[in-house]
Amino acid sequence: MSLSATSLTDMLCADAALPYPRAMNTPVEDSALMLRFKDGDSSAFEELYRRHNDALYRYFLRLGGDPAAAEDLYQEAWSKIIRARDSYRPTAKFTTFLYRVAHNCFIDYVRRNRRHSQVADVEPDTQPAEGDLPEQVVESRLARERLEVALASLPDEQRDVFLLHEEAGLALDEIAVAMGSNREATKSRLRYAVKKLRAAISEPEVPK
């Protein structure tokens, strides 16, 4: 059964392989595991879960900025994946499917909490507040902290695109599918996000 499911998934997702190495396992194997779980194999789901659990948790943690909300969203997303196993079709990468569900969970969370939507409409300050940091602090730690602040200051859409790219390892087209957007908008958001984050981790200019 697993062999046939793997073969089917290979055929359906053969063109979906990315030209660069990914942190996650190949989506073909993910889809096969999901099909096995669909047939009642709980161990397949456990393996699939171990591949994506930490990345998905960090996605929610960075996206919402609230650990409690991240846990709720995390559990809600996996519950939807479990319930949707009967209707799952390996027509796309499992990672795209997983993060589309996760993105929709976050959108629902934003709609329930207006604060996020209001923040998304406002262009945040691109310069993190790093002036109060002491000079003797290690530069790497400074950079991480500035990145943390800069990432939290990004608009939700830009932060979402960046996290889908870095945590989920999705390409532009896949990010567009997961977010229900188009490729050009996704590309633009990623460029803006990267520009702001790169500026944040750079050594701040000392005003003369």
Partner 1 sequence: MSSDELGRPDDPVDAPLRDAYRQLATERAPRHLDNAVLEQAARATQTKARPRLWAWRRPLAWMTMIGLTVAVVLEFSQVPTDLAPASPKNAVSPVGADGDAITTPAASKMEADKARRDRELETMSAPAGANLDQAEPRAPAAVVPDAPTPETALEEPAGSSEKRLREATPQRESLYLAPAPESEAAACDDTARADPERWRACIERLVAADRAAEAVMETVLYREAFPDAPMPALVR
Show the DSSP H helices in 67-155 as ranges. 67-83, 94-112, 114-121, 139-153
Residue 93 in contact with partner 1, rule: CB under 8 A: no
Task: Classify residue 49 as exposed, middle or buried by CB count within 10 Å of its CB (0-12, 13-18, 19+).
Answer: middle
Is 162 in contact with 99 (CB distance < 8 Å)? no
Q: Which amino acid is at 91?
A: T
Residue 144 in contact with partner 1, rule: CB under 8 A: yes
Task: Pick from 61, 98, 168, 179 the residue near partner 1 by CB under 8 A.
Answer: 61
Residue 149 in contact with partner 1, rule: CB under 8 A: no
The owner of tokens 């406002």 is 122
Paired tokens of 135 = 């000079």
Taking CB under 8 A as the binding criterion, the range among 2-10, 94-102, 109-117, 138-146 that sits at the site for partner 1 is: 138-146
d(CA 203, CA 208): 15
Task: Pick from 12, 58, 126, 185 the residue near partner 1 by CB under 8 A.
Answer: 58
Residue 139 in contact with partner 1, rule: CB under 8 A: no
> Nearer Cβ to partner 1, position 41 or 118?
41
Residue 133 in contact with partner 1, rule: CB under 8 A: no
d(CA 201, CA 145): 8
| Binding to partner 1 in span 187-206, by CB under 8 A | 187, 190-191, 194, 197-198, 201
As measured in angstroms, the least distance from the Cβ of 53 to partner 1 is 4
Is 150 in contact with 200 (CB distance < 8 Å)? yes
> Nearer Cβ to partner 1, position 83 or 114?
83
Query: How far from 112 is each of 20, 36, 67, 108, CA to CA, in Å?
Result: 37, 35, 17, 6
As measured in angstroms, the least distance from the Cβ of 143 to partner 1 is 5
Contacting residues toward partner 1, per CB under 8 A: 18-20, 37, 40-42, 45-46, 49, 53-54, 56-58, 61-62, 71, 74-75, 78-79, 82-83, 85, 140, 143-144, 147-148, 151, 162, 165-167, 171-172, 187, 190-191, 194, 197-198, 201
